[in-house]
Amino acid sequence: MSVTSARAHPNIALVKYWGKSDESANIPATPSVSITLSDLVTETTVETAERDSLVMNGEETADTKIQSFLDLMRTQFDVPPLTIVTDNNFPTGAGLASSASGFAALITALNVHCDLSLDRNQTSIWARRGSASAARSIYGGYVSLSGPEWYARQILTAEHWPLTVVIAIVSEGKKAVSSTRGMRISRETSSFYNAWVASSVDDYRNALEAIDARDFDALARIAESSCLKMHGVMLTSYPTLQYWLEPTLACMNAVRNLREEDIDVFFTIDAGPQVKAVCRSEHTRAVVRALESVPGVVRTLTTGLGQGAE
């Protein structure tokens, strides 16, 4: 039987998505802007089988999110039972956007394997229905995701502004609260939630302008502000969503100290404790050295910006 393979890279949001305006269609409440990473990769193979099964990083496993996604696809397309084999070359479910690259790779493989004839926009929409951040991993470089269509668009290729991302791994453990659940808790309980959603519109517009102008300082300000506002919403949710660990804070301070030394770098943090430091390529060594000397940092990963799913 035929086998189809696809690869996709995770992306890191600079203007964050946190909250849904429609849970059943998985429509974000906030527009977002991201960068797709080159050196972190998910490789997924699909093969027609007698029954559905999933092998993730070498282990047969059940994943309700993937199963629900297949069930949803089968309401519209002829998708046979499948064996799905998927591997990440980076920690899974630890705030490194494995669901973004995972669903982007899966829909890209399914599109070919099942002759779905989805164009890029439709592929991005289906990826979004699996996991909204996955819509952005369909494209490489700098990517936006906004309404009313809620498919992703490429803003700029990686080659046009080749920044580097240094990821400080603080913990390889899986996150305690999934993003989907965390977003629901935030919407229902944080008194900052409505202000967060309202402010994301300006952040989004300003980030598009900063990327268009390749204005590092402007992008740094917007990205750190969006990150800190999102974590403000998380921290003021009940039960509180505190994804940071002590080394997370120490890394944020290390990045601020680097900026005092005229190193062009800013941080961003997702639904996990890892700190992603985005810098100009010529400053990579200084950023790696500074983050690796922070107590509690297990290791760093360095990556450039990469391509969309293929």
Binding residues for ligand 2P0, rule: CB under 6 A, are: 13, 16-18, 26, 32, 99, 131-133, 179-180, 270-271
In angstroms, the CA 47 to CA 40 distance is: 24
Q: 306 to each of 155, 199, 300, 301, how far by Cα in Å?
A: 13, 29, 18, 15
Contact between 47 and 5 (Cβ < 8 Å):
no
β-sheet bridge partners, residue 93: none
Minimal distance in Å, beta carbon 21 to ligand 2P0?
A: 12
Beta strand pairing status for 11-15 and 265-268?
Answer: unpaired
Structure tokens at 263: 């190193």
d(CA 131, CA 109): 16
For residues 245 and 35, what is the distance between their CA atoms, to the nearest angstrom?
24
Q: How far is the CB of 303 from ligand 2P0 (least distance, A)?
A: 16
CB 291 within 8 Å of CB 168: yes
Whether 263 and 287 have beta carbons less than 8 Å apart is answered as yes
- The smaller minimum CB distance to ligand 2P0, of residues 44 and 83, is found at 44
Q: Provide, rounded to whole angstroms, the least separation between the CB of residue 289 and ligand 2P0.
A: 27
Q: How far is the CB of 134 from ligand 2P0 (least distance, A)?
A: 6
- Nearer Cβ to ligand 2P0, position 83 or 98? 98
Nearer to ligand 2P0, 152 or 250 (CB): 152
* Smallest gap from residue 268 Cβ to ligand 2P0 (A): 9
Closest to 274 in 3D by CA, of 297, 306, 242:
297
Nearer to ligand 2P0 by Cβ, of 108 and 131: the residue is 131
Residue with smaller CB distance to ligand 2P0, 203 or 270:
270
At its nearest, how many Å lie between ligand 2P0 and the CB of residue 174? Answer: 13
CA distance 79 to 35: 31
Nearer to ligand 2P0, 83 or 142 (CB): 142
Distance CA 219, CA 207 (A): 6
> What DSSP state is assigned to residue 25?
T
Q: Which is nearer to ligand 2P0, 180 or 225 (CB)?
A: 180
d(CA 247, CA 244) in angstroms, rounded, equals: 8
Shortest distance in whole angstroms from residue 49 CB to ligand 2P0: 25
